[in-house]
Amino acid sequence: MKHVVIVGGGFAGLNCARKLASHPDIRVTLIDKNNFQQFQPLLYQVATAVLAPSNAAFSLRNVLQRHSNVDVKLGEVVAVDPKTRTAETAEGQKYQGDYLVLAAGSQANFFGTPGADKHTYPLYSLHDAELLRSRILAVLESADRDPSLIAKGALNFVIVGAGPTGAEMSGTLGGMTQRMFKDLYKDLDLSKAQIFLVDHGHSVLSAFSQKSQEYALSMLKQLGVQVRLGTAAKEVAPDHVLLSDGTKILTRTVIWAGGLKASLLSSNVGVAPGHGGRLDVQPDFSVKDSPGVYALGDFANIAGADGKPLPQLASVAEQSGKWCAKNIAAVIAGEPENSHLDFYERSEHSRRTAETRNRPMRHYH
């Protein structure tokens, strides 16, 4: 029985494990630092207290409990030996497989912005969402208790990054300050609340179609969001943000949705990382010159049909996990691998579906 070790239980790793689980001649070990999969597209709703944390996280063991050939292990993988296809955890456990799938996910990329790593609230994990929720509630309560804090920026929220996470978060905050918060904080002058969405690019949702970009921008403005495009966060302090155009915004809450890079593991896998710290992969998701080693999702640079990297979206991660599993099963069975063109077509379809079904501000327009 062939053994596949998968590092990471996100969209890519979990879908790879589930697909491989249908093959009784394959044994799978799935390793993750959490015993749950977090549904990242819903994190902004956890951060704004629309959903409870339990609604955005699902037990890995529960999802895979029907598959006797899949074993879930709790541990943070900190090193990989691609030659022996071995993953080592922080606790010292080692897992060696005939095939090794690296889907260790991502972390916030602050791009060297001074103060961003210390004074912002990233929104890329369930833990991030819970911290941000507490922060939002704390500044509202403090402003309700002491209205003089409003002049010091207590009701100013700055979101850095106009991708899906930033657009959803800013739109939700805009809607809530117009409606929900007013019902909860009757003595708080929420007309003075300001939501700023800042991005160095020149469009909202730059990875999506122009139609979706225009729609999102229009909805954000209707929700009172002040969109500052072509402007970057130059410096972040505990009480303000300095923008590249010289503007200084007083704020106690800066939300970082400015970009991702591969998780820390990428620097300790024995392979030179590519753009964003991610591993460059071949059309079958394998890592060049590392037989039996694959990289998926946000941990990989996956080229689309046009040669450009596919965006870090859940749909891309999910499809890459399923397609990688098909390829591994085909190799084990001695059959031809699946065409990567099918993956590109499905990923493009998933991207278009995401644009029509997951438009920003869908709960508040």
DSSP 303: B
Decide the pairing of beta strands 240-243 and 2-7. unpaired
Model pLDDT, residue 7: 98
Model pLDDT, residue 338: 67
DSSP 38: E
Model pLDDT, residue 240: 98
Model pLDDT, residue 304: 87
Model pLDDT, residue 364: 33
Annotation marks residue 337 as catalytic: no
Tell me the three state secondary structure of residue 216: helix
Per the residue annotation, which of 76, 141, 168, 318 is the catalytic one? 168
d(CA 148, CA 144): 9
Model pLDDT, residue 308: 83
d(CA 165, CA 361): 11
Model pLDDT, residue 362: 41
Helices (H), 207-313: 210-222
Model pLDDT, residue 295: 98
Q: Report how far Cα 115 is from the mean position of its chain's Cα atoms.
A: 21
CATH of 116-256, one of 2.60.40.3880, 3.40.190.10, 1.20.1300.10, 3.50.50.60: 3.50.50.60
Q: Which CATH superfamily is domain 2-108+260-357 in?
A: FAD/NAD(P)-binding domain (3.50.50.60)
All CATH 3.50.50.60 domain ranges in the chain, comma separated: 2-108+260-357, 116-256
List per-residue pLDDT tens for the chain, 365 residues long: 999 999 999 999 999 999 999 999 999 999 999 999 999 999 999 999 999 999 999 999 999 999 999 999 999 999 999 999 999 999 999 999 999 999 999 999 999 999 999 999 999 999 999 999 999 999 999 999 999 999 999 999 999 999 999 999 999 999 999 888 999 999 999 999 999 999 999 999 998 899 999 999 999 999 999 999 999 999 999 999 999 999 999 999 999 999 999 999 999 999 999 999 999 999 999 999 999 999 999 999 999 888 888 888 888 999 999 999 999 999 999 988 765 545 555 555 545 544 544 444 443 33
In this prediction the pTM is 0.89
DSSP 177: H
* Residue 170, phi then psi, degrees to nearest 5: -65, -40
- Number of other residues whose CB lies within 10 A of the CB of residue 39: 18
Tell me the angle at which helices 314-333 and 340-357 cross, rounded to the nearest 10 degrees. 160
Model pLDDT, residue 207: 83
- Number of other residues whose CB lies within 10 A of the CB of residue 146: 11
Model pLDDT, residue 307: 84
Model pLDDT, residue 337: 75
Q: What distance, in Å, lies between the first and last C-alpha atoms of the chain?
A: 53
DSSP labels, 250-265: E-SEEEE-S-EEE-GG
Q: Which tokens sit at 101?
A: 């799938």
